[in-house]
Amino acid sequence: MATVEDVTTSVPVLEVSGITRRFGDRLAVDDVSFSIPPGEIYGLLGPNGAGKTTTIKMICGLLQADSGTARVAGHQAGTLAAKAVVGYVPQDVALYPDLTGRENLQFLGRLFGLRGEVLDERVDEALELSDLADRAGEHLSSYSGGMQRRLNIAAGLLNHPVLLVLDEPTVGVDPQSRHAILERVQSFGQLGMAVVYTTHYMEEAERVCDRVGIIDQGRLVAEGTRRELVDRLGERDRIDLGASGDIERWAEACRALDGVDGAAVADHQVQLLVHEGRKLLPAVLEAAERTGVQVSSVDVVEPDLEAVFLHLTGTALRE
Amino acid sequence: MHPALAIAAKDVRQRLRDRSAIVLGIVAPLVIAALMSLAFRGAETIHLTVGVVNSDHGSAAAGLLSALRSPGLKDLVTVVPEQSEGSASAAVHAGHAGAAIIIPSGFTNSVSRSRPLPLTTLTNVNNTVAAQITSSIAQSFVAQVNADRLSVATASAAGEPTGSAAAALDKAHLSLPIQTVQRAFGAKRLKTISYYGPSMAIFFLLFTISFTARSFFVERDQGNIERMLAAPLRPRSVLFGKVLSAFVFGIVSLSIIAAVTTFAFGADWGNPLAAGLLSLAMVLAVTATTALVIGVAHTQRQAEGISSFAVFGLALLGGNFVFVSVTPPIMQRLALLTPNGWALRGYTDLATTGGGLAIVGLPIAAILIYTLVVATAASVLAPRALTP
């Protein structure tokens, strides 16, 4: 069984090649390919329903690909050998409220064939990692949401995986716990573990991921480091405008302006991808007046992954 | 530890911590069996007190009293003399006597006349069993007297002197006609608790089906099943682990109920080895049914509906609520399509015959055939429940 220690950096821990999956008529994942070397944290960034979860379920062997292959440490995804070296952390806390923290970890450890002293060591290690050693004997139902999240992640490390797959681990988590989770994920990469991290939060992807794959409507539309992706934007800026009124109509009017590459509406905001944002602002505000929209805030931001997403897909991440 | 064993151990631990599971699996069957045993205790040992007002004191009245005190009725009836119809009526009304028979003055003399006096029975609507038995005894006696009168009339018509015929009547040995005696083919009488102990244990064992199936879908909805499937184990290990927990819980539940009903309530489960094997077969049948419900249902709600149907359908058909022997023949035949019907038949035979393995061979075979058929269907359908 491969472990973090014996997977060399020259061999990708995860190789995904052209995987495709349909649910009825809907193409959930369309010909997605990427690979991850040891120690790299790879972010799959995309809005809800983009195909992130379906992709990682195929990597973890929970779903079969209609076509294409995924290999983990050289093993076909879904085989027992591949599953043995993958740590899967589902989006929801998949633990038992009526069992203690320790009992939950012991149970999951046993599913990976751990027993005796090794099991005890791994469980203690996971409890330390989640800062829950002093509450190990309490039922999970007495834990806070953040504590449950931390244990949920620690449970994915019991088998010392070479590939850790985290499915939106910070959804519904308070800012403090989110910060703690992100710090922990960063440390996994430093330990030599390959990590697949799905999220629809651009800030998280920018903060913890070495490389990011942008996925939209089942297709991996771009991938690279943050720098590489942002460089695709050239000299473009992103303008975030808070407004009330018929902002869809306003966004449409903005798209017609020279210098606007993209306009998207999300959360009572219009995001514009523009060349020389500050020069274009008067025309944008004039369009607002013309369409009867009241502008409440204007923010010209540095190019980031959100702008990249807008550039590549024409939509906002939160749409 | 094999993953299936780990899953089963986890499930059993959860169920032992779940008060509702303990109540449903152990407390409820014990309480209900005890209550039903109390409620139906009268059915197994009927005994009634019959008040008799003898205003006649003649030979016919003596014949009736003699019949009531005969060895054939001594376990059933205790005769209490009453002075008058009023006191007899009061005794019946107060429940001191189940019923009363009034022998009118001149009854013996009237027997030889053309219009004999009638016997009167006093009954209470609140004690219909005593009323029916007392009326039945009185009618049997009257039928006997009428038969004797017919004999005398026939002799008289054939030319016998009237006095001789009257003397013949006087000397007639008045007694009840030949009676039927109910007796089971077994050597022992079946105590109510010996029926309702196993019956309620099985009925609540059937709830394991809904409990386990529901728990499976709850875990599936919460992502626990998916997390298990991400571990290096075969999908059927998850299913096997889940139904194994149902099996273990069923065995524990039945064993506790058997022990408590035996030692606390005096139930007779029969030969321990035979009863144990019968219980094992029954728990296997329940386990297979659980797997089938998981395979057929697609959601938690469906699992609850299907398992409720299965639980109450099997319980009603199998005779867990009423003695199958008092149901119409069609129901008796349908009971033999259910594993619990066969199990109850097995337990009843064990308790009444004192027999061993040979007695439960057929019930066990029938239950195992049911199990095999259901398990085969489940092995085809249940893996679908693991597919997202």
CATH of the domain at B89: 3.40.190
- Asked if B166 and B26 sit in the same domain, the reply is no
Same domain as A267, residue A169: no
What mean pLDDT comes out for the span A272-296?
A: 86
pLDDT above 70: residue A199:
yes
Is B182 among the domain residues? no
Whether residue B348 is contained in a domain is answered as yes
A57·B229 Cβ contact <8 A: no
Q: Does A25 share its domain with A150?
A: yes
Supply the range of the domain harboring residue B278.
Answer: 3-41+189-386
Instruction: Identify the residue with better confidence: A7 or B222.
Output: B222
Task: Say yes or no: A27 and A65 in one domain.
Answer: yes
Across residues A126-144, what is the average pLDDT? 92
Asked if pLDDT for residue A318 goes beyond 80, the answer is no
**Residue A221 falls inside a structural domain:** yes
* Count: domains in chain A: 2
A25-40: average pLDDT:
93
Q: Which stretch, A146-150, B153-157, B170-174, has highest mean pLDDT? A: A146-150
The residue count for chain B: 388
Average pLDDT over residues A264-289: 84
A181, A202, A229 — which closes off a domain?
Answer: A229
pLDDT above 90 (res B36) = no
Q: What is the mean pLDDT of residues B323-351?
A: 86
B158 at interface of A, judged by CB pairs closer than 8 A: no
- My answer on whether B85 and B138 are in the same domain is yes
Q: pLDDT higher for B206 or B38?
A: B206
User: What value of ipTM does the predicted structure carry?
Assistant: 0.82
Distance CA A152, CA A137 (A): 16
Rounded to an integer, the average pLDDT of B171-191 is: 49
Q: Is residue A314 part of a domain?
A: no
**Based on the domain organization, do B206 and B316 belong to the same domain?**
yes
Q: What is the pLDDT of residues B74-102, one digit of tens each?
A: 777 888 999 888 898 888 888 888 889 98
Does B380 lie in the same domain as B239? yes
Q: Is residue A313 part of a domain?
A: no
What is the average pLDDT score of chain B? 83
How far, rounded to the nearest angstrom, does the alpha carbon of residue A312 sit from its chain's CA centroid? Answer: 18
Average pLDDT over residues B161-186: 48
Split at pLDDT 50, 70, 90, the class of B309 is: very high
HEC per residue, B303-361: HHHHHHHHHHHHHHHHCCCCCHHHCCHHHHHHHCCCHHHHHHHHHHHHHHHCCCHHHHH
Q: What is the pLDDT of residue B162?
A: 56
Q: Is residue B181 included in any domain, yes or no?
A: no
B196 and B328 assigned to the same domain: yes
Both A147 and A171 in one domain: the answer is yes
pLDDT in tens, B262-274: 888 888 888 999 9
**CB–CB of B17 and A98 under 8 A?**
yes
Question: A208 and A293: one domain?
Answer: no
Q: Whose structure tokens read 């376990």?
A: B75
Which chain B positions have a beta carbon within 8 Å of A115's beta carbon? 1
Same domain, A147 and A34: yes
Instruction: Confirm or reject contact between B19 and chain A (CB < 8 A).
Output: no
Q: For B122-170, what is each residue's pLDDT tens digit?
A: 887 767 777 788 888 888 888 877 777 777 777 777 766 655 555 555 5
Chain B residues with CB under 8 Å of A151 CB are: none
Where residue A7 falls among pLDDT bands split at 50, 70, 90? very low
Answer whether residue A295 is part of any domain.
yes
Say which residue the tokens 């472990």 belong to. A3
Could you tell me the residue range of the domain that residue A255 belongs to? 235-302
Q: Does B171 touch chain A (CB under 8 A)?
A: no
The lowest-confidence range among A10-19, B109-118, B154-163, B303-312 is: B154-163
Domain membership of residue B180 (yes or no) is no
Taking the CA of residue A88 and the nearest CA in chain B, the distance in Å comes to: 7
The answer to whether B313 contacts chain A (CB < 8 Å) is no
For residue A205, what pLDDT is reported?
87
Q: Is there a single domain that holds both residue B100 and residue B234? A: no
Give the dihedral sign, CA B138/B144/B147/B149: negative
Q: In this structure, are A27 and A151 located in the same domain?
A: yes
Chain B residue at shortest CA distance from A97 = B14
B17 touches chain A (CB under 8 A): yes
Question: How close A102 comes to chain B (CA, Å)?
Answer: 12
> What strand order describes the sheet that includes A236-244?
A260-266, A269-275, A236-244, A294-301
Nearest to B227 among A94, A98, A103 (CB): A94
CB atoms closer than 10 angstroms to residue B120: 14
Of residues B151, B155, B146, B158, the one with CA closest to residue B110: B146
Task: Please check whether residue A197 lies inside any domain of the structure.
Answer: yes
Residue B345 domain flag = yes
Residues A260 and A207 in one domain: no
Q: Which of A199, A229, A259 is the last residue of a domain?
A: A229
Residue A293 · residue A244 · CB < 8 Å: yes
Helices B28-39 and B192-221: angle between axes, nearest 10 degrees: 150
**Planar angle of CA B141, B146, B148, nearest 5 degrees:** 95
Q: Which of A168-172, A189-193, B53-57, B112-116 has the lowest mean pLDDT?
A: B112-116
Of the candidates B287, B292, B283, B388, the residue with the CA atom closest to the CA atom of residue B340: B283
- B217 & B366 share domain: yes
Report the pLDDT value the prediction gives residue A3, as an integer from 0 to 100: 46
Question: pLDDT category, B180, cuts 50, 70, 90?
Answer: very low
For B10, which residue in chain A has the nearest alpha carbon?
A107
Q: What is the CATH number of the domain that holds A243?
A: 3.30.70.1340
Residue B339 lies in a domain: yes
Looking at the fold, whether A154 and A293 belong to one and the same domain comes out as: no
d(CA B383, CA B296): 10
Same domain, B210 and B99: no
- What is the predicted pLDDT for the residue at B265? 81
Q: Is the pLDDT of residue B220 over 70?
A: yes
Residue where a domain stops, chosen among A229, A250, A267: A229
| pTM as predicted | 0.72
Contacts of B233 in chain A (CB under 8 A): 80, 83, 111
Q: Are residues A111 and A248 in the same domain?
A: no
The CA radius of gyration of chain B, in Å to the nearest whole number, is 30
Torsion, Cα A80 A85 A89 A93, to 10 degrees, reads 60
CA distance A210 to chain B (A): 25
CATH of the domain at A92: 3.40.50.300
Q: Count how many domains chain B has.
A: 2
